[in-house]
Structure formats: C-alpha cells, structure tokens
Amino acid sequence: MLSVRNLHAEIEGKKILKGLNLDLGFGEVHAIMGPNGSGKSTLSYLLAGRPGYEVTQGEIYYKGKNLLELSVEDRSGEGVFLAFQYPVEIPGVSGMSFLRNSLNSVRKYRGQEELSAAEFLKLARGKASELGIDQVMLNRPVNVGFSGGEKKRNEVLQMALLEPSLALLDETDSGLDIDALKIVSDGFNALRSPDRSALVITHYQRLLNHIVPDKVHVLAQGRIIETGGKDLAMELEEKGYGMLGIQDGELEVS
Amino acid sequence: MEQGLEKFPPALRNYVSEALSFDAGPEALSGLRSHAREALLETLPLGRSERWKYTDLRRYFAKPTRLADSPGVVSQQDLERFLIKGYARAVFIDGFLSTELSDLEGVEWSALDEKIVGRVADIKSTGFVALNSVLLKDGFSLRVTKSQPQQRPIQLICLTSDKLVGEIHTRITIEIEENIEASICETHGAIGSGVGLCDYVIEIVLGKNARLQHVVHQQASKDIHHVVTRAGRIDEDAKFTGFSLLEGGALSRSETVLSLTGAGSEVKLYGIGLMRSRQHCDVTTDIIHEVSHCNSEQVFKNVVDGQGRTVFQGRVYVAPDVQGIEAHQLNRNLLLSKNARADSKPELIIHADDVKCSHGATVGDLDEEALFYLRSRGISENIARGILIRGFAAEMFEVLNDKTIVTYLDEALENWLLCADFDGGLA
C-alpha cells in the first residue's frame, strides 16, 4: 500500500524528517508514536500533500504510484485521507454543501457517478447519525463554533463518506472524551477492511485500545527508531520514551 | 465669472456653471433649488476634501455632459430578471418613474414636494445632496402607514437603459410611520450599456418604534458612475437594518448618513462589495449618535479582484454628554489579485464617556490552511478557491432572517462568481 524510502524533508530550511523508512501493507493499521517535534505531523502532512514542505531526498510510493508527483486533490481521489489534528473552520460554507462537493469530486475522480442532492442527503444523514452527529451541525458552516470533539467527529464523518484506502489519523483522539473516543473509534473500525490501511498518529496508548494496530513505530529525530507490536505502546505508556534513551520534549526541532 | 467659481479648477467651472443655470426641475421644488444653488459651490466634491479623499470625480466633471431628458424604452420582459416575487414595485428608468412598469397597488405614494424633500438630506453636507437638489428631475415619496397593515414589501427598481448618455438625478423619500414594520429593497441595475452618472438621494425617516429592513442590490454598467446618498433619521426605539450587495460600475459611491435621534434606536449596516477589473467602489458611512442609549453596528466585506479598488470610510459620531452608547464597526477585505487594492478608514469621534466603541479592518488573501483542507477532500484548487471566496461573502447573509432576500442576494453572488476566473491572477 505505502512505501516510504529514506525520506528527508524540511520546512523553511528546518530539517524535520531525516531518513524515514516505512512500509504499510494492505489492510494494516500502524500506529506512530513519538515525542513532540519528532516529525509525526510532518509525515502526515507530506503524505496528504500540504504545501510548504520540501522533500530533499527519498521517495514515497502509494499503490505503486509516486505520491509526491500527485496534487493534493488527486491524492484524495486516489484514496489518501488525512483526518486533521486541527480541523479548519470555514465560515460561510455549509457543512452539507462542502461534504457533497467533496464526495462528488472524489467520485468523479474515481470514475463513479456523482450523487444527486437527494441521494447525498440520505447517505450523509445515515453516516452522521451512526457517528452521533446532529443534523443541525451538518447545516452549520464547516467546523465553525464546533467543540474539539465535534470537529473530530466531523473528520471521521468525512472519512466514512470518502472511503479512503489510506487513512491518516493525526491525533484524532486529542480533545475527545471517553464516549466520543469510542464513537470515533467505532466509526473508524467499521471502515477497516483488507484493502484499507491506516497510519494512526497518537500520543496516547488509550486510542490503541479501541483501534488496535498491527504495528507500533516510534518516530524520533526525524526517523523511526523502534518498531514493535501493540505491546510496545503499552510499554511506552508505562515507562515513557526514556526507555528508548530519549525524552519527550527534548527533541523539539530548533 | 460667476462668484465662487474661481475656487474650482478651470476645467471644472463649466460643469458647475451649467448646473447653476439649470431650472427645469419640478415646479414644486423651486425653493429647494434656489437654496441648493448657494450650497452647491461649497459642497460639490470638485477639489480635495477629507470625505472624498479616495474617490476623485474631477476627471468625470471635466468632461462635457448633459442631463437625461426622457427615459429609454424598457419592456415588461426586460424588467423580469430584476423582480422579487411578492413585492410591490416602483420602477425608475433613467431616473424617471415609470407608472406603467410599476406595481404600486396598496402603496401610499405621492409626487415630491418641499414639505418632504430635504427633511433629512442636508444640502450643506459635502457630497451630492446639493447637486441632486439643484438638478433633480423626478422622484417620488413613499409612506408606509397604519392605513395599510397588510402591506407587501416594496422594491425600488432603478435601471439605466441603453439610451442613457448623460446624467440622472433622482430623489426618493421613504417614511415609515411609528410602530410600523417595513421591508424595502433597492435594486440598481442596467439594461444594456448606458453611459454617464446616476445620482440618487434617498431620504429615510423612521418614526417611533418603526422597523425597516433596507436591502440594496447595486449593479451598474461599466461606463456608469453611480452615486447613491442615503440620509436617514431614526427615532426612539426604531430599528434600521441595512444590507447592501454592491457590484459597482465604473465608479460607485454609497454614502449613508444616519442620525439616531431617540433612545432605544438602533442601526445595523451590513454589506458586501464585489469588485473586479478596474472598478472603484467607495462605501462611506456616517452614524450620528445624537442621544443617549442608542446603538450601531456596521460590518462591511469586500472581495476585490483584477485592478479593482474599494474604499471603506466608516465614521461614528457620539455627541457631547450622551451616555450608554454602543457602536461597532468592522471592515474585512479579501484581495484576489496583486493589483487589487482596499483602503479602510475608520473614524470615531466621541465626546462622551459611557461609550463602547470598536473598529477593525483586515486586508488579506485566501486562507491557505482552508484551501489545503478543501483540496485534501478532493476538491480541485480552482473550485476550492471559489468556495472560499463565496464563503467569505456568504457569511454575511447569516445576519438576515428573510429567506426571500437571502435567495435573491445569493443568486447575485453566485452570478458574480460564475463570471470570475479565479484560476489566474491570484497572488
């Protein structure tokens, strides 16, 4: 599904990723943990195509395609989906029209027929109610005035509609209470299938109780320094990054 | 040389001299005309004045011009696309009221007379009031009173025809009687490509506890200079809510001077300006808090593309010794090209202590983070830009509760966006 080879990347001259290697197979879910400033969010942004990052070395292949050559929107069409750590507020744009625009853009890219307003409404309402999202919220401007939890749920709703093959969850658990965490995780788990994969970026092991990963990677100083099974997350939770000879916070990129 | 003319540059004297010699307006307004002639020399913005700092009409006035003497021909069919369903309407073609095209059933109206004209529009204020008073040829007075309780909302449709080459000067007065709630929409539009100057002065009086929703949709042909001056007086507990969607012309100025004259009165002014190519749009407001306990709020947004230019001058005046005032204003500008320009000048003149005032202005480009967010959801960059531009403007509609009006304005916004090419020229 995804193969990252010797990836070096920087933003505004600051080196952030320094030789990152990662292989994610079809149907696999990998967790990425690591101290602040280790490059976790950079990795997810790079995969999604956020402008401003420069790849100085290395390559990323996704389903056999050179991902770095695809535009942001084409990556989405190809099935890459980033659930934002901080979903963006878009005043004046109703949630419903945004979602329909998004879904139909992606469907068009994938050679599927676009949905009519009525078809879309039915689909979106169904998915929203599974995620405990109020109808009223969908009609409001995108993310405007939403609580942290509502924003994250809204991200998962978009994911459920776009049915990505590579989901990138960037600290989707932050800002969620236990109930919301369960709803969001259930929403994610419902999408799991042998042809869908995910990278789950998190600081906390608790998310991984709900979304059980096949592998856990520790990202530090711009590369993966440790890989293990789901037990690694438990061990880190207990002992801290100190057990790997690093400390949370000390690796802030300067 | 006529006395006073020497203060104008030679190229402009001809215009002023011709205006002063005009006397073909309504007989009923001859007294107003003679007063206004005296004021004209002092008020016409032909030199430099603070209120006209960013909008220079001298080049226009230096060219020979003439007054439109009769309206062009406009059919019912031409009119169709300007109509709002369910509204009564007064239709002005090239500045002249067309009773055939109007539908004023159940509406109380009359010809202009000196008892009504000039009650709130001050001929001594810098700008177009004196000029309008001297040169006006037509207009009408509208009253919304208790005698018509089930009154339809009223649309004032001011159109220029293909035939227009020259100037139109028209006066409309609006009076909303006490305890009455009314809804009026001014639609300024063009059929074909007229050339010249449109000058409308609209006088508005709100009686005690009256409510007026005053909507403006303005669009003029590319060779029209379009100047609308609105002067109003808002009495005790009365509420004025204005909402403008301005699409400009060659040059447009919307000047609104509102006096809050009774406690509990309120003015809300909202607007969107959509400018492109070489259009110039000036929104100037002057909110005068004459008494204690009256509030005002102004929010104005501009979207400027091409070599367009917008000006927002918002003045709030709080008279000496009045108390308990809230006055807020905000101007936000979205510049879509390197050559677009927005000037914003708030002005607060406060002679009292117990006052909460705020003002703010922003000028910026599209939010890159929002653009990335939309694109990451599969939406192409060009469409994503369109969505964000639309959202920036459409956010303003949230202050309106009137669905018919929101649909009407939204359609205009949509049409403006459809004519845009946000692919190129973006900084």
Please say whether the beta carbons of B32 and B133 come within 8 A.
yes
Q: Which residue in B198, B132, B131 sits closest to B160, CA to CA?
A: B198
Q: Which residue in B332, B314, B307, B322 sits closest to B396, CA to CA?
A: B332
CA-based nearest distance B301→chain A, Å: 13
Cα separation, A214 vs A31, whole angstroms: 8
Cα separation, B427 vs B373, whole angstroms: 19
> Looking at residue B422, what is its pLDDT?
57
Q: What is the ipTM of this complex?
A: 0.96
Cα separation, B353 vs B265, whole angstroms: 19
Mean per-residue pLDDT pooled into runs of 10, chain A (254 residues): 97 95 97 92 96 96 97 98 96 96 97 96 94 89 93 94 97 88 91 96 91 95 94 89 72 40
Cα separation, A67 vs B31, whole angstroms: 78
User: What six digits make up the tokens of B236?
Assistant: 């005790």
Please say whether the beta carbons of B44 and B9 come within 8 A.
no
Cβ <8 Å between B376 and A158: no
Cα separation, B270 vs B244, whole angstroms: 6
Cα separation, A201 vs A217, whole angstroms: 10
For B176, counting Cβ atoms within 10 Å of its Cβ (0-12 exposed, 13-18 middle, 19+ buried), the class is buried
User: What six digits make up the tokens of A41?
Assistant: 């969010």
The end-to-end CA distance of chain A, in Å, is 33
> Looking at residue A253, what is its pLDDT?
40
Who's near B307: CB < 8 A, 6+ residues apart?
A: B277, B278, B337, B339, B340
User: Buried (b) or exposed (e) across A80-91, using 16+ Cβ within 10 A?
Assistant: bbbbbbebbbbb
Cβ <8 Å between B375 and A88: no
CA-based nearest distance A170→chain B, Å: 14
Who's near A200: CB < 8 A, 6+ residues apart?
A: A29, A30, A31, A32, A169, A172, A207, A208, A211, A213
CB pairs A-B closer than 8 Å: 83
**Residue reference for tokens 């990836």:** A7
Cα separation, A7 vs B130, whole angstroms: 72
Residue A139 to residues A101, A133, B57, B119: CA-CA distances in angstroms? 14, 11, 45, 46
A51 touches chain B (CB under 8 A): yes
A205 touches chain B (CB under 8 A): no
Best A46, A78, A85, A90 residue to mutate vs chain B (most B CBs within 10 Å): A90
Contacts of A88 in chain B (CB under 8 A): 367, 369-370, 372-373
Chain B residue with the nearest C-alpha to that of A80: B376
Please say whether the beta carbons of A184 and A209 come within 8 A.
no
Q: Which residue in A122, A131, A166, A187 sits closest to A27, CA to CA?
A: A166
Report the residue count for chain A: 254
> Looking at residue B423, what is its pLDDT?
45
Give me the percent of chain B exceeding a pLDDT of 90.
Answer: 89
> Looking at residue B147, what is its pLDDT?
85
Where along chain A do its domains lie? 1-41+54-70+197-254, 81-163
Contacts of B381 in chain A (CB under 8 A): 71-73
Please say whether the beta carbons of A30 and A167 come within 8 A.
no
The end-to-end CA distance of chain B, in Å, is 51
Cα separation, A4 vs A15, whole angstroms: 17
Per-residue pLDDT tens digits of chain B, which is 427 residues long:
567 788 888 888 999 999 999 999 999 999 999 999 999 988 988 877 889 999 999 889 998 889 999 999 999 999 999 999 999 999 999 999 999 999 999 999 999 999 999 999 999 998 999 999 999 999 999 999 988 767 899 999 999 999 999 999 999 999 999 999 999 999 999 999 999 999 999 999 999 999 999 999 999 999 999 999 999 999 999 999 999 999 999 999 999 999 999 999 999 999 999 999 999 999 999 999 999 999 999 999 999 999 999 999 999 999 999 999 999 999 999 999 999 999 999 999 999 999 999 999 999 999 999 999 999 999 999 999 999 999 999 999 999 999 999 999 999 999 999 887 654 333 2
User: Buried (b) or exposed (e) across B43-61, using 16+ Cβ within 10 A?
Assistant: bbbbeeeebbebbebbebb
A98 touches chain B (CB under 8 A): yes
pTM score over 0.90:
yes
Cα separation, A55 vs B35, whole angstroms: 74
> Looking at residue A251, what is its pLDDT?
45
User: What six digits make up the tokens of B172?
Assistant: 């409309």
**DSSP annotation of B235:** -
Report the residue count for chain B: 427
For B118, counting Cβ atoms within 10 Å of its Cβ (0-12 exposed, 13-18 middle, 19+ buried), the class is buried
Best B377, B381, B387, B409 residue to mutate vs chain A (most A CBs within 10 Å): B377
Cβ <8 Å between B378 and A76: yes
Where along chain B do its domains lie? 5-262
For B146, counting Cβ atoms within 10 Å of its Cβ (0-12 exposed, 13-18 middle, 19+ buried), the class is exposed
Best A73, A140, A169 residue to mutate vs chain B (most B CBs within 10 Å): A73
Our CA angle for B262, B263, B266, nearest 5°, is: 85
Domain A1-41+54-70+197-254: give its CATH code: 3.40.50.300
Please say whether the beta carbons of A58 and A8 come within 8 A.
yes
> Is the alpha carbon torsion for A62, A64, A69, A70 positive or negative?
negative
The SS3 assignment for A128 reads helix
A83 touches chain B (CB under 8 A): no
Q: Which residue in B80, B82, B72, B238 sits closest to B163, CA to CA?
A: B72
Tell me the CB-side half-sphere exposure of residue A39, using CA atoms within 13 A: 28
CA-based nearest distance A98→chain B, Å: 8
